[in-house]
Amino acid sequence: MEELNQAFGEYMEAYKALDIPSKRKEIINATKELIVVFEQLATKDNIELQYLRSREINDLKEENTTEDDFLEAELVYLEVAKNMIGQYLDKKL
Amino acid sequence: MKDYDYIGIDRERNALERGMSSLLSQVFKRRRGADRALVNEVLEMVNEMISKLQAAMASPNKDKLLDGEFNKDSIFLGSEMNKDRTSIPLYFELDILIAALEKDYVKKFENPQPIISMLQALGALRDQAATLAFNSAFKPDEPISEAAMDDILATQGDFEVGRYEKNGMKFIGIAPTLVTEQVYYSNGEYLSGGRSSTSLGKKPLYEKDAQALREIQNQNLAKLHSAIGKYFEHDWDFVPTSAKFFDKLIDIDLDERLKKRLLAISYIKDKHPDNYEVAAIAAPIVEEIIEIEHQIQKEQEAALTRQTAINEARARYQEKSGFWKFFHRQMSPDKLNLDAMSTEEIDGLYKGKAR
C-alpha cells in the first residue's frame, strides 16, 4: 500500500505541475479509461450496455475549450461511466 | 471609455460611411436645382458643429469626447444613423464626415473653397480628437513605441487609435492613417495619391526624408516579418486578417502588453498591407516579441518535460493501482491499449457506435 501511495503521490505531483488544459485532458482521459475498461469487460462477458448520449462532449474538440465546456463534458463522461458500471454490475452479479 | 473592437469599428465605419453618403445623396436628389442653398445649409450645420467641437476640445471635460457622449448631441449629419452607435470614437466620425463631405460636396461644385476651409478645420479637430484618444489610451500603460510614434507623427501627422475589451482584457491598437498616401515631393506635390482629406493640415514629408525613412523601415519590416512569422509559424503575409488574428490572440497565453502590441501590428497590417512606413511603428515591438518568443520556447520545452513526467508517473501509479490490477486479472492487458485509442474511438465507443 505504501508503494501505491508513493506512486500516487508522484502522479499527483506531476499532475499539479501541468497547465490547466493539460489537467483537463488528464481528467477526461482518466474518466474515459473507466468507460473503456467496463466496455471491454462487458464485451468479454457478452453483456450489452446501453449508452447515454450527449453532444456536450463535442465542445472538447473545439480549439478553445472553456471551463464550462470542460465541466459539461466531464459530467457527461462521468454519468456515462456510472451508468455503464451500474448496468454491468446489475447483469453480472 | 466605451468598449469597441477594430473589427467592429471597421464594420461600423463602413456602414456609417455608406449610410452618410447615401443620406447626402438623398438630400441632393430631393434638393436638385437648389445646390447653392444646400451648400449654405450644410456649411451652416457643419460650421455649427465645428464651433461646438472646438469649444468642447477647449473644455476641461474634453475627455468626454472619447466616450461618445458628445455624439449624442446630434452634432453630425449622420447623427440619425449613428445615434445608437456612440461607441465610435470621435476622430473616426470626423474622418467619415470629412470623407463623405469630400465625396458628395467638394467634387460636385466648381468652387468648393468654403467647404475645403471647413474640411481643414474638421481635419484639425480630427487630429485633436485622435491625439486625445491616443494619450488616453496609453496613459495607463508604459509607453511602448512612443519614440518611434513621435518620429512618424512629426513627419506624417495622422494616426488612429482604439481600444478593445473582452473577457476583462484590454487591448490597444494604433495605426497611422494612410501614411503612404501623404508622401510629398519637395515641391509640395504628392508622391502618391490617396484621399485628400488625410492630407489636410499635415506637414509635408520631403522626398529625401521619405527615402531615408523607407530604408530604415524596410529593415524594420524585415525584422518584423521574421519575428511575427516565426512566432505564428506562418509567413507574414498569412498572419492577419484581423478577425483570425484577434481570435487567436484572445486565447493565447501571453502577456497582455504583448497582445496589445500584436493587435496593433495586426491592425496596421490589415489597414496597410503593403505599407513599409507603418512597420516603423511596430519596429520597437520586435525586440520584445523576440524576447517573448524565447520565453514561449522555454515554456514549451517545460510543458513537454511536464507531460513526459506525468506519463511516467501515471504508468508507475497504474502498475500498482487496484483498478488496473483488477482489470488485468479479468482481461489480457494486451487487448487494451488506451494510448493507442483515439478520442474519436472512445467517444464513438461510449456513444454505442463502436459496438
- Chain A residues in contact with B301 by the CB 8 A cut-off are none
Residue A63, pLDDT above cutoff 70: no
Do B172 and B239 lie in one domain? The reply is yes
Residue percentage of chain A with pLDDT more than 70: 98
Do B159 and B300 lie in one domain? The reply is yes
Q: Are B98 and B122 in contact (CB under 8 A)?
A: yes
CA-based nearest distance B12→chain A, Å: 27
In a domain, residue B266? The reply is: yes
Residue A60, pLDDT above cutoff 60: yes
Q: Are B267 and B174 in contact (CB under 8 A)?
A: yes
Predicted confidence at residue A8, as pLDDT, reads: 94
Do B145 and B285 lie in one domain? The reply is yes
In a domain, residue B252? The reply is: yes
Q: Which residue has the higher pLDDT, A38 or B158?
A: A38
pLDDT band for A52, please (50, 70, 90 cuts): confident
In chain B, which residue ranges form alpha helices assigned H by DSSP? 6-30, 35-58, 64-67, 79-82, 90-104, 113-138, 146-156, 207-232, 242-251, 256-271, 276-320, 322-330, 343-350
B340 touching A (Cβ < 8 Å): no
Predicted confidence at residue A87, as pLDDT, reads: 93
CA-based nearest distance A10→chain B, Å: 6
Mean pLDDT, chain A, as a whole number? 86
Q: Which residue has the higher pLDDT, A60 or B88?
A: A60
Predicted confidence at residue B296, as pLDDT, reads: 64
B87: cell is 461607441
Do B185 and B265 lie in one domain? The reply is yes
In a domain, residue B316? The reply is: no
Predicted confidence at residue B106, as pLDDT, reads: 61
Do B182 and B292 lie in one domain? The reply is yes
Which portions of chain B are predicted below pLDDT 70?
1-49, 52-53, 56-57, 59-97, 99-115, 126-296, 331-355
Q: Are B273 and B239 in contact (CB under 8 A)?
A: no
CA-based nearest distance A88→chain B, Å: 14
- Chain A residues in contact with B307 by the CB 8 A cut-off are 18, 22
Do B113 and B224 lie in one domain? The reply is no
Q: Are A80 and B350 in contact (CB under 8 A)?
A: yes
* CB-closest option in A40, A52, A64 to B336: A40
What is the helix (H) or strand (E) element at residue B160, kind and residue range? strand B160-166
Do B1 and B70 lie in one domain? The reply is yes
Do B153 and B119 lie in one domain? The reply is no
In a domain, residue B315? The reply is: no
Domains in chain B, number: 3
pLDDT band for A35, please (50, 70, 90 cuts): confident
Range of the domain at B234: 141-309
Residue B188's contacts (CB-CB under 8 Å, 6 or more residues apart) are: B204
Predicted confidence at residue A86, as pLDDT, reads: 93
* CB-closest option in A14, A32, A51 to B310: A14
Nearest residue in A to B251, CA atom: A64
Closest CA to B228 of B289, B284, B276: B289
d(CA B59, CA B53): 10
Residue B287's contacts (CB-CB under 8 Å, 6 or more residues apart) are: none
Do B5 and B135 lie in one domain? The reply is yes
B316: cell is 508507475
Three-class DSSP category at B194: coil
In a domain, residue B68? The reply is: yes
Closest CA to B272 of B162, B159, B163: B159
Do B229 and B301 lie in one domain? The reply is yes
Domain-wise residue ranges, chain A: 19-92
* CB-closest option in B309, B327, B355 to A37: B327
Three-class DSSP category at B81: helix
**What are the residues of chain A with a beta carbon less than 8 Å away from any beta carbon of chain B?**
3-4, 7-8, 10-11, 13-15, 17-19, 22, 26, 29, 32-37, 39-41, 44, 48, 50-53, 57, 60-61, 63-64, 77, 80, 84
Nearest residue in B to A11, CA atom: B313
> Exposure of B20 by Cβ count < 10 A (0-12 exposed, 13-18 middle, 19+ buried)?
buried
Answer yes or no: do A50 and B330 touch at CB < 8 A: no
Residue A5, pLDDT above cutoff 70: yes
Do B332 and B217 lie in one domain? The reply is no
Do B34 and B70 lie in one domain? The reply is yes
In a domain, residue B314? The reply is: no
Answer yes or no: do A53 and B352 touch at CB < 8 A: yes
